[in-house]
Structure 1
Amino acid sequence: MVELFQVLGGIAGFGGVALGVLYLLYRDLVRDIIRRRMFRTLTSAQATVLFGAVVVLAFAVAILGIFATLAESRGVQQFLVLVGMILFFLLAVAFIAVRALTGPAARAGSGGRADGERSLAAVRRHVESGEPEQAERALEGARLARDSTAFWYWKARIALARPNLDVASGYVEEALKLDARDPYVIALKIELLLLANGRVQRDQAARLSEDSTGLSGELDAWLRQLRAEGMFGEGLRTRTRLESLCPLPTPTPENAHAD
């Protein structure tokens, strides 16, 4: 390693040393650590940012080396060569930045929100039609962040459509960890508690409805309908009857992407 830096430094000064640093960073950090350990958890955007940071760091050292050499330069020819290298580097950076901002990835990003909203509309349609498998595929196409309430909300709705109350309840709890005052998630939890058809769960649903009154007009209207239909009283409740009398409030795709 020392010999490598001595050779590069003797040939190209600080700029050569920077290229050596770039090589070592790639060999030891990018190729080994990132590829073998970190790529399993990094998203594509995070990996791109990490690669970009490595390259920018190395070339920043190279630019500093060029300026240091420029400061000691006495020959006009060497001066012009170094200035040309700096200008070429700046033009290359500008070109890459323009391509990144206007290229296919940027255009895809501008349309990503609309595609996600269409996918969420499909998720809602399939859930309400009792098609959980199709809803699951549409949710994958929406590419919601795993740390968003909307992702766990729709996972819970899909589990409810299967139906699997225990799994749906687990997903609802994940959503509530992210936003304990989301009116749609609270409504879904109340419905799951009522569908359990147990006295304890029914009392929990009643308390939660009282504590949640005032969060949103849509939730308040749904809670009033539940009380009017006697859903908090004794008796067996089925999902079909509950949702036919008191349709569950559902977020729009625009609200889902607001997370």
Structure 2
Amino acid sequence: MDQEVLDTQPDEVETLLIVLKEIDVKTALSKSKLRELDYSLNPYYGCQFSCLYCYARKFTPHEEASNRWGEVIVVKRNLVEVLLKEVQRVRRGTVGLSTITDPYQPVEGSRLLTRRSLEILLSKDFRVSIQTKSPLVLRDLDVLVRHRERVDVGFTVTTLREEVWRRLEPGAPGPKARIEALKRLRGEGIDTWLFMGPVIRGMNDGEVRDIIVLAGEIGTRIVYDKFNEYGISLGLRGDKGWWEAKEREILRSCEEVGIECHSEVEDWIHEERRRFLPLF
């Protein structure tokens, strides 16, 4: 296993010291447990964005990347070669990029595993659903535009306030950069969505209306979700009644603004409609 140390500085973020390791993998695509996806593809283990609420650390099979979340990044150096073989034999479907890492974290800027995987998948008639917090996705705009009928891009926007962003997502690009990238993608005719989540009681739950209005101005749909602990504690009080009221507020605001809105649990319904509506 190779190892090196990187001094990396995402836009607007403090310099972070990252331990970078490389491994060889036997598979590139994994069967997804999410109903809206057939496969997931994670070019890296670990994530430089270091989000405090992230569940992915609990599902990351690489022990050191999981235990030292945000500090250790594992690069799957032979991913592209493995993927080239897999796409020749597996059934076509929708691939999530990515489910336990951010495919456009800073290391992608030099390693290009996400871009090369994206090109392979789209050239072989797979659908690709991207979720990120990084405007680095705009680097691949040429690929996305060329295959716009088979790709969608979602940006996570958890907060619009700098103090909350820096507390919750210390290594991630700021919300302004994400929103500008989302606008650019939408302007290029890419199917986009804004993931408003996790909604955390007492931290960002007062911002849902503002985020929904912003999504309406962009003309993009909303996917939302509450904070799910998955063994991660932020010291919050549980209150089922609070979430039920907040979800009603979210749905009401989306209706008033005039944008499509559904929970992450219901996202598979949107995907099924997108797959099969052109057949009728």
Report the TM-score when normalising by structure 1.
0.25
Larger Rg: 1
Greater fraction strand: 2
Give the TM-score normalised by the residue count of structure 2.
0.23
Q: Comparing both structures, which one devotes a greater share of its residues to helix?
A: 1
Which is bigger in relative contact order (C-alpha 8 A, separation at least 6)? 2
